Structure 1
Amino acid sequence: MSGSESSAPAGQAAPEALSFTVHSMPQPSLADRRSRVLGGRLRLLLVLLACAAPVIASYFTYYVIRPDGRTNYGTLIQPSRGWPADLALQAIDGAAVAPAALRGQWLLVTVGDAACDASCEKHLYMQRQLREMLGRERDRVDRVWLITDGGTPAQALREAVEATGPVWMLRVDRAVLARWLAPADGQALGDHLYIVDPMGEWMMRMPADPTPQQVKRDLDRLLRASSSWDRAGRE
């Protein structure tokens, strides 16, 4: 019989048609949204802390714990000082050098004018000597000569300074530089060697007329304390 296959058997009710009800999705409350935002920020903060932990630990070890109860030869700068935003550097050939180019290495800095008197020459020689004394760690340290006038160092001096490797010879405005580096009371800016960390923070000043062996001891400690996060060369 036509249509008999779709008919319900005798004595049984026809099946009801299926129906679907669509419910709207629950909307998160304002409190839920704030909680999610806060949770995201906390996770980001934890990631940043994890990245910074090696640096913090090395400085804590050096500044606070100080194994063996030893004292520093140089003066720690606390808090450390980043270079001024308007610090402009210029190479000997006149090319502009971005301060950020110096990041990534420990810097051993001397300051003087281009004529470079006997004290300046002594510091430049000591820079070279200290870097060589560091042995296999020397590639983590760069030498920097900040020249505080518009002159050009004598060719013979430049060749002597670079005899054991390149040196950053950079002209800089003395007034701007004085907002970053500072001498001890009663001393001139050029009387000291300065140590700048790989993040560009001035963090130590050596005494006037320093003893190389004492300076090296401080450098050894700094390099050892930062060995977990600092590597030779720039990224």
Structure 2
Amino acid sequence: MLLSYLFYFVIKPEGRTNYGVILDPRSYPMPKLDARLLGGEPKELDAYHGKWIMLQADSGDCAEACKKKLYDMRQLRLIQGKEMERIERVWLITDDKPVDTVLIREYDGTRMLTVNVDKLKSWLPSDSNTSISDHIYMIDPLGNLMMRFPKDADPNRIKKDIAKLLKASAIG
């Protein structure tokens, strides 16, 4: 008992159990991004209102780090089981480079939107030694940007955060 008091009152554990960085949504209101589907039709992120959005932003070239994030996002959604329908995967494409057809097929179900990169950079936060394309972000069902995962994030640790988010936001 003495040890527990020592740890709680003297050492003061941080108490943080999340892996991703929790963001204050008041600092990052969702802007209109002038987003378009690959076919050219307008589509903003608010079209996915009511679902959790797992988001990444990257070039249409989609280098290896981009492909890994797409893969991780797909697997992280699948591993949620019956809760996976509450999550949308979105790739915001930051340039005019064409997306490989094989990549589109491989990540079927991922919403691919081209966006105005300047608006995107002014909205999505990143650390001083990273860029927006290094992170996976989470947007809550109300449209609030609320979490950013670190560069080269560990999918097992992301999985735990997503499971907690889904559980905490479950209705009923």
Normalised by the shorter chain, which TM-score bucket? 0.7 to 0.9
* TM-score, structure 2 as length reference: 0.87
Does 1:82 find its partner at 2:29? yes
What whole-Å deviation, never above 9, does each CA across 1:106-164 have from its counterpart, x for those lacking one? 000111010001100000000011001111110000100000012220001111111xx
- Paired with 1:159 and 1:79, the residues of 2 have a C-alpha distance of 33
- Paired with 1:103 and 1:161, the residues of 2 have a C-alpha distance of 21
Which of the numbers 104, 107, 110 marks the counterpart of 2:56?
Answer: 110
Does 1:207 find its partner at 2:154? no
Q: Is the 8 A contact 1:92 1:152 kept in 2?
A: no
1:145 corresponds in structure 2 to: 91
Q: Greater relative contact order (Cα 8 A, min sep 6): structure 1 or 2?
A: 2
How far apart are 1:70 and its partner, in Å?
A: 4.8
Q: Secondary structure at the match of 2:54?
A: strand
Structure 1, gaps ≥5 residues long: 1-68, 230-235
Structural mapping, 1:116-127, within 5 Å: 116-127=62-73
2:163 corresponds in structure 1 to: 220
- Paired with 2:45 and 2:165, the residues of 1 have a C-alpha distance of 22
1:72 corresponds in structure 2 to: 18
How far apart are 1:199 and its partner, in Å?
A: 1.1
* TM-score, structure 1 as length reference: 0.64
Does 1:96 find its partner at 2:42? yes
- Paired with 1:193 and 1:98, the residues of 2 have a C-alpha distance of 18
Q: Which of the pair has more CA radius of gyration?
A: 1
Which of the numbers 167, 175, 180 marks the counterpart of 2:118?
Answer: 175
Q: Is the 8 A contact 2:25 2:145 kept in 1?
A: no
- Paired with 1:92 and 1:203, the residues of 2 have a C-alpha distance of 26
Q: Secondary structure at the match of 1:143?
A: strand
- RMSD over aligned CA atoms reads 1.3
